[in-house]
């Protein structure tokens, strides 16, 4: 899930107008997206809120609102927005994907996995959700390898596996570093990896 605070996981930013809205409302969506791209998230949120006040059942603008909240690093509000979307529109996979990205950013990998599995039930061809689920499984694997080292520090096969996962998820920011458990000194290996 590619996500601001968790770049290895992808957040779905766009929804098809054909699913949720007509071209008549495209300008409102475009305006909100443009404000967000221009680095004006507060204005984008105000415009989205004003639109939603008149059309509270519009899933696309509500989705954009969740994206804006995510961009503003208001994780709890974004989680609430996407959770409400999953309740009001349980047939849509994108809000589940974005919930998973937010959960993963908080190291809630079991909840992220469950959200992604629901997204894939709804759309088995959702490539972003498949990639994100792979990333979540890798994070869960890293947690288990760390546990294995705690209980059997002499197990030589765990270290290389954990090192490989660390290379895959080399943190780009301090927030990312907090997500992957730190390696014991004997496993640490400095690596450089270009970001996607």
Measured distance CA(74)–CA(77) in Å, rounded: 6
What pLDDT, on the 0 to 100 scale, is given for residue 165?
85
Q: What is the mean pLDDT of each run of 10 residues along the chain (196 residues)?
A: 41 44 66 93 96 96 96 96 97 97 95 97 96 95 89 82 82 56 32 26
Q: Which pLDDT belongs to residue 2?
A: 37
State pTM to two decimals: 0.74
Handedness of CA 2, 179, 75, 41 (dihedral sign): negative
| All domains of the chain in start order, with CATH | 17-179 (1.25.40.10)
Name the token pair of 74.
């208001």
Q: Do residues 132 and 1 make contact, with C-beta atoms less than 8 angstroms apart?
A: yes
């Amino acid at each position: 899930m590619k996500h601001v605070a968790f770049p290895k996981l992808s957040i779905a930013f766009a929804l098809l107008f054909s699913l949720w809205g007509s071209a008549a409302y495209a300008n409102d969506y475009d305006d909100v997206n443009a404000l967000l791209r221009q680095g004006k998230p507060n204005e984008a949120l105000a415009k989205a809120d004003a639109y939603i006040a008149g059309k509270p059942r519009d899933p696309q603008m509500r989705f954009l609102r969740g994206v804006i909240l995510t961009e503003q690093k208001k994780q709890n509000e974004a989680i609430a927005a996407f959770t409400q979307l999953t309740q009001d529109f349980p047939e849509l996979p994108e809000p589940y994907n974005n919930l998973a990205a937010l959960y993963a950013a908080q190291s809630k990998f079991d909840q992220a996995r469950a959200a992604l599995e629901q997204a894939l039930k709804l759309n088995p061809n959702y490539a972003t959700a498949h990639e994100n689920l792979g990333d979540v499984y890798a994070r869960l694997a890293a947690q288990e390898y760390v546990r294995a080292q705690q209980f059997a520090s002499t197990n030589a096969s765990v270290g290389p596996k954990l090192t490989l996962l660390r290379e895959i998820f080399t943190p780009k920011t301090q927030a990312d570093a907090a997500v992957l458990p730190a390696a014991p000194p004997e496993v640490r290996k400095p690596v450089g990896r270009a970001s996607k």
